[in-house]
Chain A
Amino acid sequence: MPPPKPYTLVAELTYQCPLHCPYCSNPVDIGADRWRAQLETEHWTRVFREARAIGVVQLALTGGEPMLHRDLDELTAAARAAGLYSTLVTAGTRFTRERAEQLKAAGLDHVQVSIQSPDPEENDRIAGIRSFDKKIAAARAAREFGFPLTINCVLHRQNLDRIEEILALTEELGAQRLELANTQYYGWAVVNEPALIPTRDQLGRGEEAVRRFRERVGPRITVLWVLPDIYEDLPKPCMGGWGRTTLVVAPNGEALPCQAAATIPGLEFPNVKDHSLEWIWNESDAFTHFRGTDWMPEPCRSCPLDRQEEDWGGCRCQALRLTGDAAATDPVCRYSPHHETVVAARDQAQTDELVYRTMKRSRFAERA
């Protein structure tokens, strides 16, 4: 059976970023030599064309902060020429009116601006840099130049009680979408888990606020809200299944099935400088290793709920982190022999102290 065709390419243009968010999905060793090499603009434009040819229609220009890539306008134009729908995933601090106008002209389709909190001081504290006012200005610039706007706010214990304010701000900014992304515990979030894990009550109140908002506002604003795995007992189809919908290309050219896959030992990630995207998607070990259902262990193989082709085995990085084996059943699953590790994480010791993302060699890299 031929593999499914991918829909999405996540292009991590650079790991440089002015922000220091303590839940960043980038690897904790972004300061390491492995990530020092950067793709040339010609590599990226070829990758965009190859992506379209194997089925990709959505392109996320992300990072780090994609606005720091000096050829962003050229990349955006190349994406449009290739037939991709492009989203700029930005922290907003460099997305001025002037840049908005230039990127509109280059053919950018959609802008996603992150906020760390609807409260300016809290936003700046979590981001580790004064940035709130620029983010708001960026969101307004996006609307002024006719971009559809998504607001993204990563949720955790320290900002979850502000859902009503986030919803109000989203509406006030004229956004079309709001991603309320409960923190996923990969990358830097693992280091900061004790400061980020929310309570079940917080999540319940958040869920209720979202429900009321959807009822009042209707389809005008789409709100994405996903319960974090830690309070679930059945896995989600992580990335829509391994190697089923999405390719991630890191700044150095390594192609990965998800942003966190670099943590999995024993997998060799092919570089787009050496291989075509078609080969990477169809043939490479990294993309075929956990694709489909043949790799699944018990109890997945005889899943009593027949969910093999629904959740595709959940998340490999989570299995690795909590069981030490990337090929184990996702411990979120109630049938996993390791499910108690997920339950125990709900009641772990808490702290409000944050470890900020940095590209300096980190003493926390080994811990995570």
Chain B
Amino acid sequence: MNRPRLVDGARLQYDDVREEHLLLIPEGAVRLNPTAAQVLELCDGERTVEKIAAALSERYAGADVADDVRELLGGMGARGLVVDAAA
């Protein structure tokens, strides 16, 4: 995956009733931890995975998050929730 974006129709929303981030998809909802929500917010189909990891790293005092970002996006891709904008 090079330039990830959310699959058609998926929508990020903060659920203020449950106080957690959700990825809303057709007839479903995926519960997200705050970091996962931040990563998915950056998946606009323009940024590369490297750019996303770098932007997130900045928020976490330069920590190396590249592997975590790749793993998250890999998992989301395998479930069809994130797709490559180029595909």
A residues within 8 Å of B by Cβ? 5, 7-8, 52-55, 57-58, 60, 83, 85, 87, 109-110, 112, 146-148, 150, 176-177, 218-220, 222
Contacts and interface: CB of A to CB of B under 8 A. Distances in A.
Contacts of A176: 7-9, 26, 80
A109 B28 contact: no
Interface in B1-29: 7-11, 13, 15, 17-18, 22, 24-29
B27 A5 contact: no
Contact of A150 (B7, B26, B78): B26
A146 B8 contact: yes
B80 A57 contact: no
A112 B27 CA distance: 10
Contacts of A7: 29
Contacts of B15: 55, 57
Contacts of A57: 13, 15, 22, 24, 29
Given A55-B18, A219-B80, A222-B80, A83 B13 contact: yes
Nearest to B80: A219
A183 B26 CA distance: 21
Interface of B: 7-11, 13, 15, 17-18, 22, 24-29, 77-80
Given A148-B8, A176-B8, A219-B78, 5 more contacts: A55-B18, A58-B28, A148-B26, A219-B79, A220-B80
Contact of A58 (B7, B29, B78): B29
Nearest to B9: A148
29 contacts: A5-B18, A8-B27, A54-B17, A55-B18, A57-B13, A57-B15, A57-B22, A57-B24, A58-B27, A58-B28, A83-B13, A85-B11, A85-B24, A87-B26, A109-B9, A109-B26, A112-B26, A112-B27, A146-B8, A147-B8, A148-B25, A148-B26, A150-B26, A176-B26, A176-B80, A177-B26, A177-B27, A219-B79, A220-B80
Contacts of A52: 17
A87 B17 contact: no
Contacts of A5: 17-18
Given A85-B11, A176-B7, A55 B77 contact: no
A355 to B, nearest CB: 29
Interface SS, A side: mixed
Q: Looking at B22, B27, B29, which has the most chain A CB atoms within 10 Å of its CB?
A: B27
Contacts of B13: 57, 83, 85
Contacts, number: 62
B18 A58 contact: no
A365 B67 CA distance: 61
Contacts of A177: 26-27
A85 B23 CA distance: 10
A259 B27 CA distance: 17
A147 B29 contact: no
A53 B11 CA distance: 19
A55 B78 CA distance: 28
Nearest to B8: A148
Question: 3 nearest interchain CB pairs?
Answer: A148-B9, A219-B80, A85-B24
B9 A110 contact: yes
Contacts of A53: 17
B71 to A, nearest CB: 16
Given A176-B7, A219-B78, A110 B22 contact: no
A143 to B, nearest CB: 9
Given A146-B8, A176-B8, A219-B79, A110 B18 contact: no
A226 to B, nearest CB: 14
A147 B80 CA distance: 16
Contacts of A147: 8-9
Contacts of B78: 219
Contacts of B27: 8, 58, 60, 87, 110, 112, 150, 177
